[in-house]
Structure 1
Amino acid sequence: MIRRLSPPARSGLASALLCAGVLLFFWPGVAHYDSVAQYQQVVSGAYYDWHPPAMARLWSLFHALGWTGQGPMFLLQTLLCWTGLGLLAAALARSGARVAALAVLALGLWPPLLGWQAVVVKDGQMAATLLAATGLVAWQRLRGRPLGAPGTAAVILLLGYAILVRSNAVFAVTPLAVGLLAPWRWRDWPSRILLIVAATLAVLALSPAINHGLLDAEESGVEATQPIFDIAGIAHRAGPQAVPLLRPETWHRLEAQRCHSSILWDIFSIGKRCDFLQHDLTGRPRQELFSAWTGAIIAHPGAYLSHRAAHWNATMRWFVPWHFPQAVPQAQSLPNTFGLGSPRRQVVLYDRFAGWLANSPLGAPILALAVALAVLALAQPAQSAAHGLAVPLALSATAMELSFLVVSISIDWRYHLWSMLAAGLSAILLLTEPLPRRPARIALAMLALVVLIALGARLALPQIGDDYSALIR
């Protein structure tokens, strides 16, 4: 009977079966630390902006209907994820690219991606909605048809949720949106880039009003984390006078207690060993803190660039040891009093393997960036609808990964979930058409170099460990 199905129908059926298998294997999903904090808001009805409130507000709708726990949000993100992958695979199968269709589904099963996609957290929600939007566009565009009004409305709704569910999602969503809502043509690139920049700035300006006004979330002071993280890094490198806002005794204490992490902000959070820095700056007017931050960057650009480069290397997991924290997918929910349960024990073994792959050079976000850049260099969107779809995916991954040079305070692997998916999909779409041999060989050599450097670092550098405590002690 299956043989009687058309290639697109087979891809759709395979996607549906895989989706059901994922739901059964990982049910009811994993509640991350962030998930528990957001669910507390759902239960209490008091929302704040430490985590973008869009996800908590959506979660509250299920809770109001009596569907408690993380199950509904896990179901939602899994359905969106496999709907997007299924539509893209079916569109490729319909066009005759059956190997590419299989590759799309296989990418969805790659253990690090699947392991983290089972965690009910904003990164998974963002990736799932962007996959669904991409699949809807691919289904129409790869057969040369316009998206139509209903499809356009659905894509805009998905993109809108994605842009609100993570504070830095704008860097990934705006390039993708510009390419999804209108076919990409290289000759239009100046106007497209200007549109992307304008849309990004508009979203950054409007987000506080949406979060605090429309979604009624209280301010939590989360916007101070980036300045505090960078101020500590600059002060360590440039000396006690680098940031006048810091008292000399605070600087000396920072140095004595080794509070100069370029990896994550958490050591400065309340209750951690270096929280005295935040206590010292608490109560300062926001303008004073931000002026001190920007002033320190301008006065000591070398110290700032050194701090940011060290952080970017860590979050891109390029020149790092093999066991580097925050990569292994969480297999069990954080202990909580809200009844948020955990999947069965077999997920623990699965996620250990997934973590090994995530820690390997093949799981390094720097490789995703390199793949995306290669796609941008080789794609010919004017000659191929598949290449026309590959470009916005590659642009989205590139913009997201480069944004961590400036806007990032932690190295969690899950932050790169969408970029890894987007880069992988863009490569699959690129390879549906023949490529010029010499440029393709150069791109392949560059990818091999990135992998070899990452492998050498993992073999040579001393191990740190896989758990969060290894970073904050």
Structure 2
Amino acid sequence: MTMYRSRSQALGGAPRGRGGRPMQRVPIGPRRKAISALIVGALLAAISLGFFWPGVASYDSVVQYQQVLTGEFDDWHPPAMARLWALAHMAGWHGQAPMFVLQMLLYWTGLSLFAGALARRRQAIPALLVLLLGLWPPLLGWQIAALKDAQMAGALVAAAGVASWWRLDGRRLPLWAAALVLLLLGYATLVRFNAAFATVPLAFGLLGGLRWDRPLFHAVLVLATTAAIVGALTPINQRLLQAKPSGVERSLPLFDLAGIAHHAGPDAVPLVPARLWRRAEARGCLTPILWDPIGDERACGYIVDTMQRAAPGAKLRDAWLRAIATHPIAYARHRIAHWNSEMRFWMPATMPGTGPLARSEPNALGLGSPDKRVIGFEKTGYTLATSAAGAPILWFALALGVLYCSWPPRDGAGGVAVTLALSAIITELAFGVIGVASDYRYHCWSMLAAGLAMLAASGTRVSPRRALLAALGVAIVAGLVTIARFTLPPALPPI
């Protein structure tokens, strides 16, 4: 809808100026539309901060805040986030509120800039949809939790918004903006061990480091850079940020070895006696949903204890690689089953780790909860997250569709769309190899990236045939997910 300005208007007549002459209607320009989008985004940020104040502290938040209070950090939880939280605490701002404010401001700043850039391109409806995407309960509901996942999502959305202010129009970023984008991507990389799968494609694509006419070369470059960054995270956390080793890197080998034993039989992993594997199998500890039961002392913790005694240090890694090489089919079945669980594809509606949370974990550290008014919003978020519309696999299919329709990108908007789609796709595919749990919060960035990619692509020329095929693919995935939701029994919570 086109809006107009005038200083006066006669009842029932056209706007008139001095002498009663009709005034010329002046449409609101692109810059004013962009400013309007920024103002609306700022209002939504203020409303969100007030409505959900002071944010939610999950179990992980409580553990990390204990580290803030004691000054002793380990690398199970991101020390970069804990160090930043400690600075706020030293400044007299206690509780989870500082991290809640940071991630919410980053989140809404990025979305507002993205919407403003679209509005400036005369794409009013996509700009509005960007802000509505930010309000979608499964995403906003998890963004209120003071967690590394919300910190990562906020930093990545902010980086995408800043860069897209120029990149949607095909312009280069000013030096200061490029530095800010790199800072945000760097922080996001430090707060989650798998964030590099999202941040490296963004860094290359948003900063203009990719040439779309050489896809194979740049694919190798992106993967090599990602591997290098992932390998450097442990030294950075333990030496530069002075975090104590927690053994978090052992969770993946332990989870995979348990999965191989489940699919290939108890004799496939001789680190643990067959009778203990059979006992764990009978108790339901060997689940593709998450690794926690085998690490829980009250459930099947004896599995982890036995493996750690039999293969301390690097010996566990060697046993893990040897088991994969010896039983590749069992390993593949285990990883496929886990990825299906992560993506909530052929899975029931009810699964553990869906959330979002409305109350903080009970604690004696002064970490409070939002008012009870947020319960209805979070329940809506849970309902939508368990539906087909909230399944990460559906948004993954959407990102694939955007990549198919927009490749190769012909303009700035197409480049942004492809970059965001690649970030979402690579992040989700990585869970098939390194994922150890199926929590819904892990997918918030990928879902946001897929939605923003589609809205960026809405202003580009797309082949009708490609668009139809992409829509058909998304519809097929949605249909399969819907069937699964109505036919499969609820997934049992971990023991």
Q: Do they fold alike, i.e. is TM over 0.5?
A: yes
Q: Which amino acid aligns with 1:174?
A: V
Distance 1:345 1:190 in 2: 52
Map 1:431-470 onto structure 2 (within 5 A).
Answer: 431-464=458-491, 470=492
Secondary structure at the aligned position of 1:216 is classed as coil
Partner of 1:256: 282
Instruction: Give 1 or 2 for the bigger CA radius of gyration.
Output: 2
Verify: 1:384 aligned to 2:406, yes or no: no
Partner of 2:449: 422
Report how far residue 145 of structure 1 moved.
Answer: 2.9
Report how far residue 416 of structure 1 moved.
Answer: 0.2
Aligned equivalent of 1:323, options 333, 350, 372: 350
Distance 2:44 2:359 in 1: 22
CA contact (8 A) 1:321 1:462 kept: yes
Aligned length: 468
Aligned equivalent of 1:301, options 328, 331, 335: 328
Q: Which amino acid aligns with 2:355?
A: V
Q: Which amino acid aligns with 2:367?
A: L
Verify: 1:46 aligned to 2:46, yes or no: no
Q: Which amino acid aligns with 2:220?
A: L
Q: Which amino acid aligns with 1:398?
A: I
Q: Which amino acid aligns with 1:346?
A: R
Identity of aligned residues (%): 49
Verify: 1:126 aligned to 2:126, yes or no: no
Report how far residue 296 of structure 1 moved.
Answer: 0.9
Partner of 1:279: 305
Distance 1:223 1:116 in 2: 25
Secondary structure at the aligned position of 1:472 is classed as coil
Partner of 2:111: 85
Report how far residue 282 of structure 1 moved.
Answer: 2.8
Verify: 1:394 aligned to 2:421, yes or no: yes
Q: Which amino acid aligns with 2:194?
A: N
Stretch of structure 1 that moved more, 37-46 or 273-282: 273-282
Verify: 1:216 aligned to 2:242, yes or no: yes
Verify: 1:180 aligned to 2:202, yes or no: no
The 3 A distance-change label for structure 1 pair 142 and 183 is farther
Verify: 1:370 aligned to 2:397, yes or no: yes
Q: Which amino acid aligns with 1:287?
A: A
Partner of 1:14: 40
Distance 1:397 1:162 in 2: 14
Distance 1:297 1:432 in 2: 46
Distance 2:319 2:433 in 1: 17
Secondary structure at the aligned position of 1:433 is classed as coil
Report how far residue 244 of structure 1 moved.
Answer: 2.2
Partner of 1:471: 493
Partner of 1:467: none
Report how far residue 257 of structure 1 moved.
Answer: 2.4
Q: Which amino acid aligns with 2:208?
A: A
1:42-73 Cα offsets, whole Å, 9 max, x none, are: 00000001112111111111011010001011
Report how far residue 2 of structure 1 moved.
Answer: 11
Distance 2:54 2:386 in 1: 26
CA contact (8 A) 1:184 1:392 kept: no
Q: Which amino acid aligns with 1:472?
A: P
Distance 2:302 2:49 in 1: 44
CA contact (8 A) 1:365 1:420 kept: yes
Distance 1:335 1:297 in 2: 41
Q: Which amino acid aligns with 2:132?
A: A
Partner of 1:64: 90
Report how far residue 381 of structure 1 moved.
Answer: 5.3
Distance 2:368 2:93 in 1: 14
Partner of 1:238: 264
1:326-347 Cα offsets, whole Å, 9 max, x none, are: 1120110001111000001011
Aligned equivalent of 1:347, options 365, 368, 374: 374
1:107-141 Cα offsets, whole Å, 9 max, x none, are: 10111111011111011100110111111111122
1:153-190 Cα offsets, whole Å, 9 max, x none, are: 11111000000100111111111111011165420212
1:12-38 Cα offsets, whole Å, 9 max, x none, are: 000000000100110000001111111
Q: Which amino acid aligns with 2:393?
A: I
Runs of 4 or more consecutive aligned structure 1 residues displaced over 3 Å after TM superposition: 1-5
1:188-209 Cα offsets, whole Å, 9 max, x none, are: 2122212211211110221111
CA contact (8 A) 1:28 1:71 kept: yes
Using the size of structure 1 for normalisation, the TM-score is: 0.96
Distance 2:150 2:105 in 1: 12
Distance 1:167 1:267 in 2: 21
Cα RMSD, aligned residues only: 1.6
Q: Which amino acid aligns with 2:320?
A: W
Partner of 2:360: 333
